[in-house]
Amino acid sequence: MNDSPIGIFDSGLGGVYILKKLVKKLPCENIIYVADHKHIPYGKRTKKEIQDRSLAISNWLLKKKCKLIIVACNTATTNAIKLLRKKIEIPIIGVEPAIKPATKKSVSKKIGVLATQGTLKSELFNNTKSAYASDIDVIMQIGFGLVNIVENGEAQKFSTEQILTKNLKILIDNNVDTIVLGCTHYSFLIPTIKKLVPKKIKILDSTKAVVNHTKNVLYKESVLTKNLWKGQVSFYSTGKIKKNIWKKFDIDNVSKIKI
């Protein structure tokens, strides 16, 4: 199993942010990335639809002999992680909004959460909020239009600043001192978000925690690769492949698959 790949999937390109950090941490590992572009966005889909897609992709990755799967999507994690761990025998790592660390960092006891509708409505998210933020004022905001911005490779455009300003307004107006990014797509927007919010506001996502946890699980399971050369990263999409968009993420070769 040591040379078997790590599987990563997301509704689109948001999980590429995690993938790039993972490659830096574990450069010798082989990785397979799946973007479920045919069914993007997950945020507006039903729980059953998200579970069905997550299970179908995970089974496909299992056939590719993956030794571990990262659900690089907050919406898929919060809606399908329990099901995947029941159905899939290899380790499954999810991406949850960083509510717990945000509560520890917050001085004002006011935190903001910017996430998809699917994540904010999920049972797992609300259970986490109740468990760790019962004495914290949590201001929630759906990230309207943000997934499309990242998918179109427009994170640095001026129009993106205008859209982000509208999304962030309620969080800033409520004097939050910490903002949790509850969607992997939003991590690509961190530089722009930092430009738009007061300097005192901390921006948190789950990327570092996911990458470190992945390494720890691989070590615990004794399946870290023993290769000393650079691993191979393969990209797949279930939808139409727009090569000009993928190139904006420094990705040249993508294969279309049916799942």
Kindly report, residue by residue over 110-169, the tens digit of the pLDDT. 999 999 999 999 999 999 999 999 899 999 999 999 999 999 999 888 899 999 999 999
CB atoms within 10 A of CB 36: 24
Residue 101: the pLDDT is 93
Average pLDDT over residues 221-235: 94
Q: Kindly state the tokens that stand for 26.
A: 């574990």
DSSP annotation of 232 reads P
Average pLDDT over residues 220-239: 95
CB atoms within 10 A of CB 87: 15
Q: Kindly state the tokens that stand for 187.
A: 């991590």
Exposed, middle or buried: residue 218 (CB in 10 Å: 0-12, 13-18, 19+)? buried
CB atoms within 10 A of CB 215: 15
Q: Which neighbouring-strand residues pair with 114?
A: 141, 181
Marked catalytic residue, from 73, 90, 102, 142: 73
Average per-residue pLDDT for the chain: 95
Does residue 28 have an active-site annotation? no
Q: Which neighbouring-strand residues pair with 138?
A: 111
Residue 108: the pLDDT is 93
| Angstrom distance (rounded) from CA 187 to CA 240 | 24
Q: Which residue has the tokens 């006891």?
A: 109
Model-level pTM? Answer: 0.94
Marked catalytic residue, from 71, 133, 183, 201: 183
Residue 155: the pLDDT is 87
Average pLDDT over residues 87-101: 94
Which stretch of DSSP H or E encloses residue 20? helix 16-25
Q: CA-CA-CA-CA torsion for 123, 129, 130, 131, nearest 10 degrees? A: 110
Reported as a pLDDT band with limits 50, 70 and 90, residue 230 is very high
Residue 220: the pLDDT is 96
* Contacting residues for 143 by C-beta, under 8 A, at least 6 apart: 114, 115, 116, 167, 183, 186
Half-sphere exposure in the Cβ direction for 238 (13 Å, CA): 19
Smallest CA-to-CA distance from 141 within 162, 167, 119 is with 167
pLDDT at residue 1 greater than cutoff 80: no
User: Are residues 87 and 54 in contact, defined by beta-carbon separation less than 8 angstroms?
Assistant: no
User: Are residues 131 and 163 in contact, defined by beta-carbon separation less than 8 angstroms?
Assistant: no
| Angstrom distance (rounded) from CA 240 to CA 179 | 33
Domains observed in the chain? 6-95+208-256 (3.40.50.1860), 99-205 (3.40.50.1860)
Give the pLDDT confidence of 189-201 residue by residue, as tens digits: 999 999 999 999 9
Give the pLDDT confidence of 22-61 residue by residue, as tens digits: 999 999 999 999 999 999 999 889 999 999 999 999 999 9
3-state secondary structure of 113: strand
